[in-house]
Amino acid sequence: MVRVTTMIEYIIIIVAVISAIIALLQEDLLKAAILVGISGFCVAVLFQLLLAPDVALTQAIVEGAIVPVFIALAVYKTNKGGA
């Protein structure tokens, strides 16, 4: 019988992979930035479930928050300068 935590881990992995694939296929870069953040937070939650809180915190800060903000700022600056 499969444990509940194992099923939760599988669901989180599936959500992370699907959001990463959809982020690659997006033409709108702001939507892609949001999807990258979702993928990063899913991986951070997975690290937390695997009892690695230090790695989970770093993952949540870097890939869940900083990378999407940098992507959104780059898109904003590029669109502002080009228009």
pLDDT tens digits, 40-68: 999 999 999 999 999 999 999 998 889 98
Query: Given a cut of 60, is residue 35 above it in pLDDT?
Result: yes
Query: Given a cut of 70, is residue 5 above it in pLDDT?
Result: yes
48, exposed or middle or buried, with CB in 10 Å at 0-12, 13-18, 19+?
A: middle
- Residue 59, number of CB atoms within 10 A of its CB: 20
Mean pLDDT of 65-74: 90
Give the pLDDT band of residue 83 (cuts 50, 70, 90): low
Give the pLDDT band of residue 78 (cuts 50, 70, 90): confident
pLDDT at residue 3, as a whole number: 81
Helix, strand or coil for residue 2?
A: coil
